[in-house]
Amino acid sequence: MLSVLVVSPDPAVPGGVSVFVESMKRHAAQSRMTSFYIGSMGRPGEPHWRVAWRLLSAPARLAWHVLTHPYDVVHLNPTFDAKSLIRDGLLLLKLRGIFYRRTLVYFHGWDFAVQERIAGHKGLRWLTGWMLNGAGLITVLGDEFREGLIALGVAPNRVIVTRTMFDGAGLHAVQNEAPASSRPFILYMSRFDREKGGRELLQAFASLQRPDIDLVMAGEGEDADFLRGEAARLGLAAQVRFTGYVTGADKWRLLRDCILFALPTYYRSEGMPVVVLEAMGAGKPLLVGSAGALKSVVRDGENGVVLGEINPRNVETGLRLLLDDEMFASAAGKRNAELAWSQYEAGRVTNDIENLYAWVARC
Q: What would the pLDDT profile of 70-111 be if each residue is shown by its tens digit?
A: 999 999 999 999 999 999 999 999 999 999 999 999 999 999
Beta-sheet pairing, 286-289 with 185-189? unpaired
Within 10-128, strands assigned E span 31-38, 73-76, 103-106
CA separation for the pair 296, 142 (Å, rounded): 7
Residue 42, pLDDT score: 53
Non-local (6+) Cβ contacts of 179 within 8 A are: 256, 257
For the residues 239-243, what does the mean pLDDT come to?
Answer: 96
Q: What's 59-70 look like in SS3?
A: HHHHHHHHHHCC
Q: Is the pLDDT of residue 266 over 60?
A: yes
Average pLDDT, the chain: 93
Q: What would the pLDDT profile of 181-197 be if each residue is shown by its tens digit?
A: 789 999 999 999 999 99
Residue 41, pLDDT score: 53
Residue 175, pLDDT score: 85
Give me the long-range contacts of 334-338 (CB less than 8 A, separation at least 24). 334/283, 335/302, 335/303, 336/279, 336/280, 336/281, 336/283, 336/284, 336/285, 336/286, 336/303, 336/304, 337/280, 337/281, 337/282, 337/283
CA separation for the pair 318, 25 (Å, rounded): 37
Show the domains of the chain with their CATH numbers. 2-165+345-360 (3.40.50.2000), 169-343 (3.40.50.2000)
First to last CA, the chain: 17
CA separation for the pair 119, 172 (Å, rounded): 46
CA separation for the pair 218, 234 (Å, rounded): 19
- Confidence band, pLDDT 50/70/90 cuts, at residue 269: confident
Residue 46, pLDDT score: 65
Residue 48, pLDDT score: 73
For the residues 158-165, what does the mean pLDDT come to?
Answer: 94
Residue 29 is classified by DSSP as: S
- In terms of phi and psi (left: phi > 0; alpha: psi -120 to 50; beta: otherwise), the region of 62 is alpha
CA separation for the pair 117, 15 (Å, rounded): 26
Strand partners, 345: 166
For the residues 52-77, what does the mean pLDDT come to?
Answer: 92
Q: What would the pLDDT profile of 16-25 be if each residue is shown by its tens digit?
A: 888 899 999 9
Alpha carbon distances (Å) from 213 to 29, 133, 290: 44, 52, 25
Residue 54, pLDDT score: 76
Q: What would the pLDDT profile of 299-323 be if each residue is shown by its tens digit?
A: 999 999 999 999 999 999 999 999 9
Q: Is the pLDDT of residue 30 over 90?
A: yes
